[in-house]
Amino acid sequence: MHALTRSLFIVAFALVSDNALARGNGWFQFSVDGGATWVAQTPALDLGTDSGTTFNALRGASVPAGGATWFGGGGIDVRAGPKGESWFIPLFGFRFGISDFHASIANGDNVTTTLDTLIYTEMFLPGLGWRFGDHVSLALRPAYVRLDTSGTATDGHITTSVDAGSDGFALLGDVQACLGPHTTACAFVEPNVMWMAGPNFALSFGLRFALAP
């Protein structure tokens, strides 16, 4: 599904759900967080370039898969539910992380590609959650995940910009423990089972500030 189509679908779902909950005397919560994400394996990243035929060696090339990577970053989340009920809907949100990444790859025809900074993103899709009192909640939702990096390629005479990336889908869990039920500070852990150029696993954790208008 095209990224714009996904975004429009999520926004439409959120608006419809929010209106329905408002009519039913529901609650609405927005949160922002900061923390770390650990990805068990950096998948192979497909290289891309807009340089035409000058760098034919890059066509079909990829950055080899690597080991585990740590990212520092943050995210936002929006969730809502009916008052007096334990279940809720995690509506939409996203997470991003940045990691220091250096790779130098020799391609054919004396072309050398140098890449720097790896960016990890998750787009949260609507799911289902359950609250255990006013302090602890569990949620499960699908997510779109992506890894991107960029840099330059040169043959010793011409230099051009390049990028590399891989994407996929995931099933994302969320365990949240808060000081209170409304505007409050929380600790969270998010295990993520994904398929991105193969099976993979990620774990995000940190602190979250939740605001319930």
- The tally of CA atoms less than 13 A away on the side-chain side of residue 155 is 12
Average pLDDT, the chain: 83
Per residue in 74-122, pLDDT (tens digit) is: 999 999 999 888 999 999 999 999 998 887 777 666 777 888 889 999 9
Parts of the chain with a pLDDT under 50 = 1-18, 20, 22, 51, 53
For the chain, how many helices (H) and strands (E)? Answer: 1, 11
CA dist 212 and 4 (Å) reads 28
pLDDT value of residue 55: 64
Neighbours of 36 (CB within 10 A): 14
CA dist 67 and 200 (Å) reads 11
Q: Return the structure tokens found at 45.
A: 């990243």
Per residue in 100-109, pLDDT (tens digit) is: 888 777 766 6
pLDDT value of residue 54: 57
Give percent above pLDDT 70 in the chain.
81
184-195/62-63 β-pairing: unpaired
CA dist 47 and 184 (Å) reads 43
pLDDT value of residue 131: 92
CA dist 69 and 35 (Å) reads 14
- What is the value of pTM for the model shown? 0.80
CA dist 203 and 40 (Å) reads 8
Q: How far is CA 99 from the centre of its chain?
A: 13
